[in-house]
Amino acid sequence: MALYSDKVMDHFQNPRNVGKMEDADGIGEVGNAKCGDIMRMYIKVDPETQVITDVKFNTFGCGSAIATSSMATELIKGKPVSEALKLSNKAVVEALDGLPAHKIHCSVLAEEAVRAAVKDYYDKNGIPYGDELMACDGHCETCGHEHE
Amino acid sequence: MNVYADNAATTAVSDAAVAAMLPCFQEFYGNPSSLYTTGQLAAEKLAAAREVFARGLNAQPREITFTSGGSEADNQALRSGAAMGARKGKKHIISTKFEHHAILHTLQALEKEGYEVTLLDIPPDGVVTAQQVRDAIRPDTCLVSIMFANNEIGTVQPIGEIGDVCREAGVLFHTDAVQAAGHLAIDVDALHVDMLSMSAHKFHGPKGVGVLYARRGIALENVIYGGAQERGKRAGTENVPGICGAAAAFAEACANLEKNAAYVTPMRDKLIAGLSAIPHSILNGDPVRRLPGNVNFCFEGIEGESLLLLLDAKGIAASSGSACTSGSLDPSHVLLALGRPHEVAHGSLRLSLSEYNKPEEVDYILEVLPGIIQYLRDMSPVWDELEKGQRPHLI
């Protein structure tokens, strides 16, 4: 059978870094309940090194929404913020050994949740950033930005 | 424990049905249209099966047409009723917003062909009224199609009252009885039903067999053209093994109708009572006027697909009307028609029981489910906002 790969099922059933973070340096939330997916990502950043020392997530959504959130947190934990910003949805999909075609949007949400959390961190700390962080609210219909 | 609680999707084939099918593969394998003995033996099997359905519905054998399934029967019924109307210059059809897609999508096709369709709103209890039908009938109405029982929320419609309204108005009445047949008593004569569709695999028969009842005098339109099988109204060599299995399953279901309902209904009610105790949950559809085995709930703050996956991991097979399970962006049209907001409809769960389920399976579901819901709610940012009062509870 298997709608999902073993990796997806593992991250869905044993999600990494799930939970809230009370003292987060940045919080990003994308998606909306009406569409059936919301991801909220919390990051803790070392001000000296700009390294993401801790990350947590809360997700409302399907199995792949939970699995992509979990994988995204693993991929950015311990990485510099600048590198987390380069996380692509494609990298999340590959790390999960693939997703069904109609679930690719979940990986896009995961990518956008990371960017939203970094943007929030930059805003709170007065760190300037370029346009690429400005636009996305996780609503693919209104954006048109291409993801692989 | 493995629990199959998705009997509204399909059912296990009964021993009686399998026993009826097996000889048709290597013994009675002839083509019923052939004149030699082997063919005629198969033709006799077919005739006997037709008798079973006629008897079970209080109809005549010639009023029974075998199809490839419930969807084909629905397509053929609507196209036939529409064509009969068009010949009299009547091109208005009445149905409801929560029909199966086999009905809704056929109606959409008919709209493109120039018919006008009125879809009745669904009251909060999930039961359409005969008065709604009466109010919607116009001089140019040719056909009313209303499901016997809804496939998602299980609510049973007042088919007899609607049949009376249609008969009085001289309008053809079709009912999609795919979920009801084999589970509720059906007398097409008493209910004033002119056409009725059913599907064998919903009552422990095989997949790939549907039945269309059409009252004498109704001119069926072909959906499949070709040979003269089924009185020329449905071409293609008959699926003799499947039809024999379907008849055996239907005979068994009709003989045990009351016994099965008496056995399944208390399990349904125990599930409803148990799941109602979960905070911010709501039963979809009337608690009493529903199929004996249907339970359908919405749980706020969670999404249905992840719920199904976790239930599957515990050995429980169920279904959901969430968008993610359908592959579309919108959740179940049935739950939306019932008035559930999108965010609530995403968190739906349908458990459908049959007489093959056991009371201890219900206990197991009730033991496992609350924990899974709590686990998903603890992970959900929506639940977090609901609990903090940042988002209003909708149920």
Residue A12 sits at the chain B interface (C-beta within 8 Å): yes
Residue A146 sits at the chain B interface (C-beta within 8 Å): no
CATH of the domain at A59: 3.90.1010.10
The SS3 of residue B135 is helix
Interface probe, candidates B300, B309, B326, B376, chain A, greatest A C-beta count within 10 A: B309
ipTM of model: 0.88
Overall pTM > 0.90: yes
The 10s digit of each residue's pLDDT in B294-319 is 999 999 999 999 999 999 999 999 99
Alpha helix (H) residue ranges in chain B: 15-26, 37-57, 70-87, 101-112, 130-136, 159-169, 240-255, 257-276, 304-313, 323-326, 333-337, 342-345, 359-379, 381-388
Q: Could you tell me the pLDDT band of residue A35, with boundaries at 50, 70 and 90? A: confident
Q: Could you tell me the pLDDT band of residue A3, with boundaries at 50, 70 and 90? A: confident
> Is residue A51 in a domain?
yes
What residues contact B101, with CB distance under 8 A and at least 6 apart? none
CATH number (3.30.1490.70, 3.20.20.60, 3.40.640.10, 3.20.20.70) of B15-255 reads: 3.40.640.10
> Is residue A45 in a domain?
yes
Q: Could you tell me the pLDDT band of residue B292, with boundaries at 50, 70 and 90? A: very high
A60: nearest CA partner in chain B: B380
pLDDT exceeds 80 at position A5 = yes
Q: Are A35 and B329 a contacting pair at CB < 8 A?
A: yes
DSSP label at B155?
B
Residue B201 sits at the chain A interface (C-beta within 8 Å): no
Contacts by B57-64, CB closer than 8 A, 24 or more apart:
B57/B186, B57/B187, B57/B188, B57/B196, B57/B213, B58/B186, B58/B187, B58/B188, B58/B189, B58/B190, B59/B188, B59/B189, B59/B213, B59/B215, B60/B216, B62/B216, B62/B231, B63/B213, B63/B214, B63/B215, B63/B216, B64/B211, B64/B212, B64/B213
> Is residue A148 in a domain?
no
> Is residue A139 in a domain?
no
Q: Are B343 and A39 a contacting pair at CB < 8 A?
A: no
Residue A37 sits at the chain B interface (C-beta within 8 Å): yes
Please tell me the predicted confidence (pLDDT) of residue B90: 98
Among this protein's residues, is A136 annotated catalytic? Answer: no
> Is residue A39 in a domain?
yes
Please tell me the predicted confidence (pLDDT) of residue B360: 98
> Is residue A72 in a domain?
yes
> Is residue A80 in a domain?
yes
A vs B, Cβ pairs < 8 A, gives 70
The 10s digit of each residue's pLDDT in B238-283 is 999 999 999 999 999 999 999 999 999 999 999 999 999 999 999 9
Please tell me the predicted confidence (pLDDT) of residue B325: 64
Q: Where are the domains of chain B?
A: 15-255, 257-388
pLDDT exceeds 70 at position A148 = no
Please tell me the predicted confidence (pLDDT) of residue A36: 86
Residue B346 sits at the chain A interface (C-beta within 8 Å): yes
Nearest by CB to A62, which of B301, B305, B329? B305
- Find the mean pLDDT for residues B1-18: 97
Q: Are B324 and A39 a contacting pair at CB < 8 A?
A: no
| Domain range enclosing A15 | 6-127
Domain at B257-388: CATH architecture: Alpha-Beta Complex (3.90)
Interface probe, candidates B311, B342, B380, chain A, greatest A C-beta count within 10 A: B380
Please tell me the predicted confidence (pLDDT) of residue B185: 98
Residue B321 sits at the chain A interface (C-beta within 8 Å): no
Q: Are B379 and A66 a contacting pair at CB < 8 A?
A: yes
Q: How many domains does chain A divide into?
A: 1
Nearest by CB to A38, which of B305, B325, B381? B381
The 10s digit of each residue's pLDDT in A82-116 is 999 999 999 999 999 999 988 999 999 999 999 99
- Report the distance separating Cα B206 and Cα B241, nearest Å: 9
B235: left (phi over 0), alpha (psi -120 to 50) or beta: beta
